[in-house]
Structure formats: C-alpha cells, structure tokens
Chain A
Amino acid sequence: MLLIHCPYCDETLPELEFTYGGEAHIARPENPADKTDDEWRDFLFIRTNVKGPHFERWRHAHGCGRFFNAVRDTVSDRFLTTYKAGEPRPDLAVLLEDAAKKEPSK
C-alpha cells in the first residue's frame, strides 16, 4: 500500500483515499485549431512512461477532492515529493539528492 502525502490536507494517507490522474504538466493547447495531427497525437496519446522519477497527478478523491502533483520513482514506487497543482515542476536533481540523504547508509 502506498502512503501518499496530500499537500492540501498536509497529511500522509493510504493509497485507497487517492485516485491516480496520469502524467502531470501536460498543457492543453492554447490554439487547438492550429495543431497538426502529429501534435494532437503527442498531446493526446504519447506519454514519457519513464522508468525512474515520474511527474504525475493524483486526486485526493476520498478527502479534500483536489488534484495535486507528485514525483514518484516508478521502479521503487517511492514518492520523492508531492506539491500543489499549478506550482512549477520541482528540480529533480535536488529531490534526488534529498532522497539519497534520507536513505539509510548501506
């Protein structure tokens, strides 16, 4: 069971309270009519599907009901951070450094 920190409620709660919302920071095109077929494909269907730190959306469905963003490592499923919707993408290098510090020495 994942434990997820809701940045609005400021509580760390079980996965069951949340629904996954797919990759984050995919902006809807400003002028849809100007987009080519290739650009529509990329917007609608192509995802990074990264093996490693993944920027993604979650919704606190059984809590405050709000969408927020998270960075989760898709290999270990460990969350590096969560942050409110609308906030800029956090710096990945800093996050990874912090995570390495917290990791117990092997």
Chain B
Amino acid sequence: MTHFSALSLLKNALTGQKNWQEQWPDSQPKAEYDVVIVGAGGHGLGAAYYLAKEHGITNVAVIDKGWLGGGNTGRNTTIIRSNYLYDESARLYDHAVDLWEGLSQDLNYNVMFSRRGVLMLAHNVHDVQSFQRHIHSNRLNGVDNRWLTPQEAKEFCPPLNISPNARYPVVGAALQMRAGTARHDAVAWGYARGASQRGVDIIQNCPVTAIRRGPDGAVEGVETAKGFIRAKKVAVSAAGHTSVVMETAGVRMPLESYPLQALVSEPVKPIFPCVVMSNTVHAYISQSDKGELVIGSGTDQYTSYSQRGGLPLIEHTVAAICEIFPIFNRMRMLRKWGGIVDVTPDRSPILGMTPVPGLYVNCGWGTGGFKATPGAAHTLAWTVAKGTPHDINAPFTLDRFRTGRLIDEAAAAAVAH
C-alpha cells in the first residue's frame, strides 16, 4: 500500500499519475470470520480499523448492502461538535473530537478536518438561558464553549444579520472553537483503506438478510445474499436499517427511522467562515471547500425508508436560512437528498452490548452520527474485542429504556439535533 506523502505525490506526478495502487480490493466473503460488521459506513469501517489496529483482530469482514460510505456517511452535513449538555454525552462526543484532531495523520489520509468553529444562535430568552446552561455544563466537563454578544458573533461570522428588526433577532450565540467540519467521504475511504491494509475484508453490494443464532442463543453468523458467513461476533452498524437487521436476531429496538434531508447551493467563492446553527429557526449552514453552501435542518415528521423526504421541509429550511442570512436570498440550490436516520426516544445513541451473546450494536445516532464517527468506532471496537463496555460507552446501553436511566439530550436541546 502506497504511503501518501509529498514525495509519493511528486513521484506519481512524474510518471503521469498512472502508478497509483488500488486503495482497497473489493473482497468476496470467506466462510468464517472472527468478527462481522454489518454496515460499511464511517462507523462500521472505523470499528474494523480500530479492531485491527488497536486490538490485533484482523480476521474481520465489513459487509454492506450498497457501496461503501453510500448511506448516511455520504449524506450528512459534515458538522463536528461536542457541546452536549450531559456528562455522558460530553465525554463521548469530546472523545470523538480528540480523535478527529489526529485522524488525518493516524490514517495517512486527509479527512480535511477543519476547526472552523460552530456558532449556535440564540434568538430569545429561552435560548439564552438554555445555551448558557450548556456553556457552564460544557466548561465543567472540559469541553470548550463560550458566550458571544451579537456584535462578537457578527465579527466572527460577517454574513450574519444582527439587525434588531429581524424576524428572529440574534440576541447572542454560543461558540465552540474546537468544532468544525470534515470531508465525509474521505472518512469512509480513509478508514476503509486503513482497515483493508491490515487485512480486513470489505464486501460491498451484499445485503445481510438475517442474523443466525444457535440453540444456546448466541450468534452463529449472518445470512447474506452471497451465502452464510460464520462469525461468533457480529456488530450491527446499519444506521436507519438497524431495527430491520436486529429484528432478525429477535431483538426489538427502541428506534424509529426518519428521513433527514440536506441540500447544497451552487459553488461560490469563500464567503462563510464557520458553521452556524439556529435551533429556534431550525436550520444550519456551512460552506464546503468546493464552495457550496451546505444546508440542513430537522427530520421529516413521518417515519420512512425512502431516502427522499418531502419538499415542504426543504422550503422551511431555505426560508430559515434566508431569514438569518438575507445575503443568500438569491443563491441557487443545486441538489438535495435524504438519508434515513435511526432515532431513539432520548436522542442518545445505543452503543455496545445487547442481550444476545456475541451481538453488538452501534445505532440510534439520529441526526448527529457523523461527528461521533471516530469515537463511536473506537469504543465499539474495544467492546467487541474485550466483550465488556468501554468506560465511555458504558452509559449508552440498550437496557436504559427498561431501567429508565435515559440520557435525555432530546429534552436538553428541545429539537432534533
């Protein structure tokens, strides 16, 4: 496998870019693996990467019904932040941000992580109180987050409209400087390359139709379109289809799958320096390195597996963006798409063990799974390798919906996030 460096770039430039190696082979399944991971998105590929790199488990297959990184990994708005209210969430998401910071070097693959700052706008008294509570809580947890006046927010993000006559005036903002964006496809590709380099098989276009359990209840393997694959450990990382896959193992999940839409504008020169989110008006926006404005908001109101979503939500989102940034009134939108997100009742993920021996799950990220990719993958790999919860993912059990020990970020944010 070529090590990417300035030298390898130069060498290949001199030979007409004709000698680049394939980054990972399109594998065919073997009869048996130590671990099978269902879902080749950032989370699944990342777990395979950390299993191989940190735990020496390389007899691993990552299986996907479509192509690698073609689900929510390729459909999100690439926002990374860790300013969550509760201690458990702050630790999990901040663990991810720690890993994001060194990820390009670790993978030898440029994931274009950009700490450009995430600005969350407050429009009313409730927002001010809620965000200041978040800021205090974050600082107690060692997560950076600070309060800005409207003038300071405008200085940080010049296109912002802070006129007191706006329909939703900006009365302040919370800023996390360590937060930012990354190139979503590169995350999947980087993990795929790193995992494949260490011996992991990546099997695409191969739907997992069922998880097979033995007479003792333990996992025996997975039924797929390419036949049965034996494995004593199976980790499901299938986003919106998690409940469908888990049902085949006889585990009913506290999940509902909703379409989450996003859209991009035509590319323009650099105008927008950071990420801005407004929970009250309900939209978020940033500018990609290609120049497109990347825009998103909440999920559609109904459950669906259609990967489309309805136009009313797009209208609502664009209206909100024009309200906060009148400068973008005449921008033309290029594309919109939908991904299917699995939402838990408390809007916190389910990460780790299940009641079935040998079955692990990483799901329930709802509308905010991308930011957690390295942290979720890293702690899931630990749990799969050792068969015990990792200190950080331990609170995110499936059992919390029975015990009532919820991590209620839904109530904390009062919107989907």
Kindly specify which of B68-76, B152-160, B302-310 makes contact with the partner chain: B302-310
Q: How far is the CA of A54 from the CA of B254 in the complex (A)?
A: 16
Q: How far is the CA of A51 from the CA of B243 in the complex (A)?
A: 9
| Contacts A19-B301, A37-B403, A56-B303 given; does A46 touch B312 at CB 8 Å | no
Determine if B312 and A74 form an interchain contact, defined as CB atoms under 8 angstroms apart.
no
Determine if A54 and B303 form an interchain contact, defined as CB atoms under 8 angstroms apart.
yes
Determine if A15 and B312 form an interchain contact, defined as CB atoms under 8 angstroms apart.
yes
Determine if B312 and A47 form an interchain contact, defined as CB atoms under 8 angstroms apart.
no
Q: Does A75 contact B (CB under 8 A)?
A: yes
Q: How far is the CA of A40 from the CA of B401 in the complex (A)?
A: 9
Interface residues of chain B: helix, strand, loop or mixed (majority): loop
Most buried by A among B254, B255, B303: B303
* Chain A 4-63 interface residues, beta-carbon cutoff 8 Å to B: 15-16, 19-20, 22, 37-38, 40-42, 44-47, 49, 51, 54, 56
Q: Does A1 contact B (CB under 8 A)?
A: yes
Q: Does B410 contact A (CB under 8 A)?
A: no
What count of chain B residues pass the 8 Å CB interface test? 23
Q: Which of B253, B257, B345 contacts A44 (CB 8 A)?
A: B345
CB neighbours of B252 from chain A (8 A): 42, 46
Q: How far is the CA of A72 from the CA of B302 in the complex (A)?
A: 10
Most buried by A among B301, B305, B311: B305
Determine if A74 and B305 form an interchain contact, defined as CB atoms under 8 angstroms apart.
yes
Q: How far is the CA of A2 from the CA of B257 in the complex (A)?
A: 18
Number of A-B contacts (CB under 8 A): 61
Chain A, residue nearest B241 (CB):
A51
Determine if B401 and A45 form an interchain contact, defined as CB atoms under 8 angstroms apart.
yes
Interface residues of chain A: helix, strand, loop or mixed (majority): mixed
CB neighbours of B301 from chain A (8 A): 19-20
Q: Does A105 contact B (CB under 8 A)?
A: no
Interface string of A60-91 (1 = CB under 8 A from B): 00000000000010111100000000000000
Minimum distance in angstroms from A15 CB to a CB of chain B: 6
Most buried by B among A22, A38, A40, A51: A51
| Contacts A15-B310, A44-B345 given; does A49 touch B302 at CB 8 Å | no
| Contacts A45-B254, A45-B401 given; does A75 touch B303 at CB 8 Å | no
- Residues of B with Cβ closer than 8 Å to A? 241, 243-244, 252-257, 301-306, 308, 310-312, 345, 401-403
Q: A20-B303, A49-B244 are in contact. List 17 more A-B contacts (CB 8 A).
A: A1-B310, A2-B310, A15-B312, A19-B301, A20-B301, A20-B302, A37-B402, A37-B403, A38-B402, A42-B252, A44-B401, A45-B345, A49-B257, A74-B306, A75-B304, A75-B305, A76-B306
